Amino acid sequence: MQKCALIACVLVLLIPAARAGVNLSSPSNGATVQSPVHFSATAGGTSCPTGVASMGIYTAPGVLAYTVKGTKLSTDLSLSPGTYYATVQQWDYCGGAATTPLTIKVISSGAKGFYNLQASQGWRGYGELAPKYDICSACSGVTWSLAQGVSSPSMDGKSAKFSIGGSTPYSDVLWNNHLIGDGTTQGLPDTNHTIVPNVHNFTYDTYFYSYDLYNSENIEFDVAQFFNNMGFMYGTQCEVTNGGVWDVWDPANGKWIKTSIPCKPLPNAWNHVIIQVERTSDNKVLYKSFTLNGVTHNLNWAYSHFSAPGWYGIVINFQLDGNYKQWDYSVYLDKLNLTYY
C-alpha cells in the first residue's frame, strides 16, 4: 500500500461519518405557536454503515428536553411562553451527529399581543434631569429625538431610532406608549375594566442595535400596569458600562436591585432581548427570566406593588440613560412585541 493511501485510510477512520441535516416537518422555523408544541422530524442521511441511533430536541443550548431511539421523532413538549432557540439533532452509531436549528415563539393559549410597537403611533418622550429625575417635557440639560420607519439598520425596514444627548451628566430620557386603558393609543380604552385587571403575564420581546453603545450608562425596558389604585412597575435595565448585569426595579421602595445575570450586548449588531414578568396571585411584581441573544437566565424575584390612586391601564416604556459625560448616543429598536395574558 502506498504511504499516501495509508494516511488517507487513517484519516477516514478518525473523521466522523458525513451527515445530512435532520428533516424537520414541525414546527416551522420562526413560527409562533401555542404550548404544548408538536415536534415532528425524521433523520437525514448518514454515511455511518450502521445508521442513525437516536434523535433528540434541545430547547436551548445544552438543554436536552427529549430523546428517542430510532430515526423518527414525534412528541409534544410543554413550554413556557417565550422565544426558544431550539435544535433537533440525530446521533449515528459511528459517533457522528447532525442538527437542524430553529427559532420559535411560544405563547399562552390565551395570550394576546402588540407587535412591531417601535413602528406604532403614540410614543411620547420625556426628559429626566439628574439628580432629582423629575419628568419634564422640555428641560435644559437633556435632549432627545425619535425617528420611525428607519430602513438601516433594520431587520424589516421599519426600525425606530431613539436618541439622547444634552449637557447634564447622568440624565435620562423615557419614552412611553399607553396601550390599554387611560390614554390608549391602540383603541383599547377598556372602559368596563375587564382587560387590565385580568392580565397576569407579560413578555417584552425586542431587538436593539447601537453604533455607539458604550456611550450608554443603562438601557431600560419596562412595562407598567395600574388598576384598583395599585401600581405594578416591571422595571428592568441593562447596565451597559457599569457592571454588565441586569437590574430590576423594587416598586414599593423605589429603587434598583442588582442581579448577577449578565447583560453584555454587542455593539454594531442586533441584540435580541426577551424579558418575562408576572403579576402574582397575591399582587406582587415577579421577575421571571431574562434572555439575551439566545441565553436564558431564570430569576423569580418578587416585590410588592406601590400605591397609584386613580391610575388605570397598561403602558410600555423604553429608556436611555446618560453617562458621566452625557455623551450623545442612539439605540435602534426593531420587532418590539409585547404579549400578555
Q: What is the pLDDT of residues 25-68, one digit of tens each?
A: 888 887 778 888 899 999 998 999 999 999 999 999 999 999 99
**Cα–Cα distance for residue pair 102/83, rounded to 1 Å:** 11
Contacts of 176 (CB under 8 A, 6+ apart): 123, 124, 126, 315, 316, 317, 318
Length of the chain: 341
- DSSP tag of 183: T
Place of cell 450608562: 217
Q: Please report the pLDDT score of residue 8 as a whole number.
A: 32
Cell of 196: 387590565
**Cα–Cα distance for residue pair 103/31, rounded to 1 Å:** 7
Distances 92 to 9, 84, 183 between C-alpha atoms, Å? 20, 26, 59
Place of cell 404544548: 36
Strand partners, 57: 66, 88
Q: Please report the pLDDT score of residue 13 as a whole number.
A: 34
Q: Please report the pLDDT score of residue 296 as a whole number.
A: 85
**Cα–Cα distance for residue pair 183/195, rounded to 1 Å:** 15
Place of cell 420559535: 104
Can you list the residues of the chain whose pLDDT is less than 50? 1-19
Q: Please report the pLDDT score of residue 20 as a whole number.
A: 60
Place of cell 400578555: 340
Q: All domains of the chain, ordered by start, with CATH?
A: 3-107 (2.60.40.10), 112-340 (2.60.120.200)
